């Protein structure tokens, strides 16, 4: 994807990117109708996945002594912000004045305070070895179902971003964005 890279630690850039993406959606409402459709599908995929996470990773992560959650993982990238805006979900109010390798600002003693759908995508697709071992122990049908839902989420997200990118590139070429 050819989106700008969000630089960690720059609050001004983060806020102006939010505004830029928001304005793009407002100015291209009609052209982004297919993006809206994908966004609804992504929401459904998150709903279907939630019980797997609660059941399988929830108990492991909540008792983890060394959570992998650090600020640089919780920081949404440009693509995350597009998908969140498409789903009409408010992006996390990320405080960029933080150390990237320190515990994530959204991590509480009870785990992540953000609903999964509001987190960076990497927070959903990443599984440590302990979690992967747990998945291997799932009975086959459950695991196949989980993998299927994760694949659907990934495909829909990729498709949404592709559709958005097409419109974004068109606008950049015409000189109105980018
Ligand atoms: S994914 Fe693994 S390392 Fe990260 S919080 Fe969960 S158990 Fe801990
Ligand atoms: S946003 Fe939540 S899941 Fe992601 S790194 Fe931070 S605490 Fe962990």
- Spell out which residues line ligand 2, taking CB within 6 angstroms: 69, 73-74, 104, 106-107, 112, 114, 119-120, 123
Q: Which atom of ligand 2 is nearest to the CA of 73?
A: 5
Instruction: Give the tens place of pLDDT for each residue, 109-159.
Output: 888 999 999 999 999 999 999 998 888 887 788 888 889 999 999 999 999
Ligand 1 centroid – CA 162 distance (Å): 30
What are the residue boundaries of the structural domains of the chain, listed by start?
11-171
61 CB near ligand 1 (under 6 Å): yes
List beta partners, residue 30.
none
How does pLDDT run across 89-111, given as a tens digit for each residue? 999 999 999 999 999 999 998 88
Please choose, from the candidates 141, 3, 11, 149, the residue with its C-alpha nearest in 3D space to the C-alpha of residue 85: 3
The percent of residues in the chain predicted with pLDDT above 70, rounded, is: 97
d(C-alpha 153, C-alpha 70), whole Å: 24
């Amino acid at each position: 994807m050819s989106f700008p890279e969000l630089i960690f630690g720059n609050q001004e850039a983060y806020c102006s990117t939010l505004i830029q993406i928001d304005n793009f959606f407002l100015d291209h409402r009609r052209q982004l109708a297919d993006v809206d459709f994908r966004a609804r599908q992504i929401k459904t995929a998150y709903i279907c996945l939630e019980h797997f996470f609660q059941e399988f990773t929830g108990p492991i992560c909540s008792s983890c002594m060394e959570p992998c959650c650090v600020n640089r993982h919780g920081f949404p990238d440009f693509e995350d912000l597009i998908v969140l805006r498409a789903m009409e979900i408010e992006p996390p109010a990320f405080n960029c004045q933080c150390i990237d390798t320190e515990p994530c600002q959204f991590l509480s003693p009870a785990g992540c305070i953000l609903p999964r759908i509001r987190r960076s995508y990497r927070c959903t697709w990443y599984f440590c070895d302990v979690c992967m071992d747990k998945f291997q122990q799932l009975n086959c049908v459950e695991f196949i179902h989980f993998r299927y839902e994760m694949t659907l989420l990934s495909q829909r997200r990729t498709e949404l971003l592709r559709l958005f990118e097409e419109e974004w590139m068109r606008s950049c070429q015409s000189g109105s964005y980018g």
